[in-house]
Amino acid sequence: MAHSYVQESIKNRRSVNRAFASKFAKSMFIAVSLLVILSFIGTRMFTHVDLNLYGYVVGTFVFIGGFFYRFIAWGERPPTKIFMKKGIRLLFRKSTPKTTANHLGTYQFIWDRGIYRWTQHLLIGWGVILSCLVTFPLVFGWMYFTMEENGYYTVVAFGMDVMRVEADGWLAFFFYNALNFTAIAVILGVCMALYRRLKHMQARAEQKFIYDFMPLYLLLFISITGLALTFMNVFLHGQGHYVMSLIHQYSVIVTLIYLPFGKLAHIPFRPLSVFARNYREHYSEQSMKKCKNCSTEFVSTEQSRDVRDVLHENAIHFDMEEGFNLAELCLPCRRKYRMSRFSGKPTHKVIHKEANQDAKG
Amino acid sequence: MKKRLYIELENCIGCRSCLAACTQCGGHEERNRNYVYDVNPLVDRQTMPLMCLHCENPACARSCPAQAIQIHETGAVLSALVEKCIGCQNCTIACPYGIPKFDTEQNLMYKCDLCIDRTKDGIPPMCASVCPSNTLQWLTEEEIEQKEQQHKLDNDKWVASMPLEGRTEVKVNLPGILQGTEKLF
């Protein structure tokens, strides 16, 4: 009996591993093929590849490997799986664009946590996003510049001539210096973040070098070496350019490898907050769960059931002798029920509002 | 030496010093994270505190889709990591004691972290530091062992922390009335 159980569990683990491997292989294959096909189109059948940037291509492929490894493992956790599955189904809600802009664009919730933190996050966040939007199209040849006529650059996107700009015009100035501007934004944001990490007591108590400081130093490393490249070209007549460009490439690739495993992993994971908001809104409209004790509606029926399923999968059961599950009580009733378990008096049965919980320090 | 939060529930006089002290902990941003309840409202004045009991297998962390609730090496179940919490409120539904609080505007859960900036260096949490009635105490394993002996019953069972839903880092002592013993002061 025990033997068959052990066999069963080994078999089970093997099939889980196999499912993970096949999912990983499939995702890798699709992602790499997509990148190659897009490059093929973008570079007009590989005739406009910027070989100076090939290091970033290799770095990106390594990053994709790490990313899928982390992301698929994360998505296998029971609660994550539920939010991913139901979130995708609810993606086309009316409120999605607004929620997305709020959560991923303007960071309204960080503003509510503090204006200082919002400023630093805006500088770092948008600095990094804009840098990626400039860098990766150049790396994969989705965007490049040609000069057919003297004094004018043609911007080519996905093999199509999109626009023509004066080589010494103001628009071109912003094109050339986009990464310099974003680098300055990132450096400012990182300095603000570092200052906060030195001063904020909670941050000081919980921070770890690898988790909290390393991503900041990496971003600083990238931004400073990037700016140094510009400095060398403008003021030193290109002296040391090749060494610095290798150092810069190294800094970017190391960061890409680190990204899925440390604090920066919240960048690809964060869209789940839009899923979560949609999930809560949608299922609250469907039906609400009433507290077994006081009949207050406190959560959607769906979420209550999902959380209970997740806890069951983790072998956590909160079934009480009285014949209900703790998840069926609203939060104040759950606390009062605990009082009754502590004291033997039926606190939760007394209809009485919560005692004062707002003593100020 | 490892110390734990130890709660002698029946000592509580309802002064709410623990709530006030909680607001002053570094990083708690002037909001308290624990509770004080009237046990038998409208009948008598007995109160009891309720705080996170720091489960060894925390339902909140198990139900978190974003892995935002981390467990510190001291055993404290930490408040949600600000960059990871996606505001789904699964943890509030999962917690058997109804502890996690949720801030809708900040889209963030916050809960008792056992004042980790203090307890990681062996300093008692704010609530235990200020409690005037010894309801909340910060004790070593040996001291808790002694208390256990003091309350030992004939049936070989220590009633304290029995009625909880699982093993917890925080030790709770039940009122003497339930245990059939009387306090010696």
Q: Nearest by CB to B88, which of A280, A316, A338?
A: A280
> pLDDT above 70 covers what percent of chain B?
86
Query: Does the distance separating the beta carbons of A361 and B63 come in below 8 Å?
Result: no
- Per-residue pLDDT, averaged over B103-117, amounts to 92
User: Per-residue confidence at A71, pLDDT binned at 50, 70, 90?
Assistant: very high
Residue A155 has pLDDT above 70, yes or no: yes
Q: Which two tokens stand for residue A41?
A: 């189109």
What pLDDT score was predicted for residue B181? 59
* Contacts with A206 from chain B: Cβ below 8 Å: 27, 78, 116-117
- Per-residue pLDDT, averaged over A3-25, amounts to 72
Q: Which two tokens stand for residue A225?
A: 């070496």
What is the distance between the alpha carbons of residues A181 and A177, in angstroms, rounded to a whole number?
6
User: Per-residue confidence at A13, pLDDT binned at 50, 70, 90?
Assistant: low
* Contacts with A82 from chain B: Cβ below 8 Å: 65
Q: Which two tokens stand for residue A251?
A: 């800094």
What pLDDT score was predicted for residue A33? 93
How many helices and strands in chain B, by DSSP H and E? Answer: 7, 7
Average pLDDT, chain A: 89
> Does residue B62 contact residue A72 with C-beta atoms inside 8 Å?
no
* Contacts with B32 from chain A: Cβ below 8 Å: 357-359
Residues of chain A with CATH 1.20.950: 22-68+111-269
| CB-based burial, B105-118: b 16+ in 10 Å, e otherwise | ebbbbbbbbbbbbb
CA distances from A196 to A70, A111, A191 (A): 29, 16, 9
Convert the pLDDT of each residue in B2-38 to its tens digit: 899 999 888 899 999 999 999 998 878 888 999 999 9
What is the distance between the alpha carbons of residues A211 and A218, in angstroms, rounded to a whole number?
12
Residue B154 has pLDDT above 60, yes or no: no
For residue A356, the chain B residue with the least C-alpha distance is: B36
CA distances from A117 to A203, A282, B117 (A): 12, 31, 20
- Per-residue pLDDT, averaged over A232-243, amounts to 92
* Helix %, strand %, coil % of chain B (to 5): 25, 15, 60
Q: Indicate which of B22, B48, B107, B172 best probes the interface with A, i.e. most A CBs within 10 Å of its own CB.
A: B107
Q: Which two tokens stand for residue A118?
A: 């919002």
Residue A268 has pLDDT above 50, yes or no: yes
- Per-residue pLDDT, averaged over A304-312, amounts to 93
* Contacts with A343 from chain B: Cβ below 8 Å: 9, 39-40, 46, 48, 175, 178
Residue A181 has pLDDT above 50, yes or no: yes
* Contacts with B57 from chain A: Cβ below 8 Å: 314, 316
Residue B162 has pLDDT above 70, yes or no: no
CA angle at B62 for the pair A297 and A257, rounded to the nearest 5°: 125
Residue A156 has pLDDT above 80, yes or no: yes
Query: Does the distance separating the beta carbons of B106 and A276 come in below 8 Å?
Result: no
* One-character DSSP codes across B14-78: ---HHHHHHHTSTTSTT----EEEESSTTT---EEEE----BSS-HHHHT-TT----B-TTS-BP
Query: Does the distance separating the beta carbons of B48 and A113 come in below 8 Å?
Result: no
* Helix %, strand %, coil % of chain A (to 5): 70, 5, 20
* Contacts with B83 from chain A: Cβ below 8 Å: 263, 266
HSE, side-chain direction, 13 A CA sphere, residue A228: 18
Query: Does the distance separating the beta carbons of B86 and A276 come in below 8 Å?
Result: yes
What pLDDT score was predicted for residue A339? 87
Q: Which two tokens stand for residue A112?
A: 């509510």
User: Per-residue confidence at A3, pLDDT binned at 50, 70, 90?
Assistant: low
What is the distance between the alpha carbons of residues A221 and A240, in angstroms, rounded to a whole number?
17
Q: Which two tokens stand for residue A30?
A: 């699709």
Q: Nearest by CB to B106, which of A109, A272, A273?
A: A109
What pLDDT score was predicted for residue B160? 52
**pTM for the predicted model, two decimal places:** 0.86
> Does residue B135 contact residue B11 with C-beta atoms inside 8 Å?
yes
> Does residue A99 contact residue A277 with C-beta atoms inside 8 Å?
yes
The alpha-carbon gap from B5 to the nearest alpha carbon of chain A, in Å, equals: 17
What is the distance between the alpha carbons of residues A19 and A39, in angstroms, rounded to a whole number?
30
> Does residue A295 contact residue B104 with C-beta atoms inside 8 Å?
no
Q: Nearest by CB to A201, which of B95, B98, B117?
A: B117
Comparing CA positions, the residue from B51, B99, B57, B178 lying closest to residue A341 is: B178
Query: Does the distance separating the beta carbons of A109 and B107 come in below 8 Å?
Result: yes
Which of A188-197, A210-219, B145-154 has the lowest average pLDDT? B145-154
What CATH number should be reported for the domain whose range is A22-68+111-269?
Answer: 1.20.950
What pLDDT score was predicted for residue B179? 56
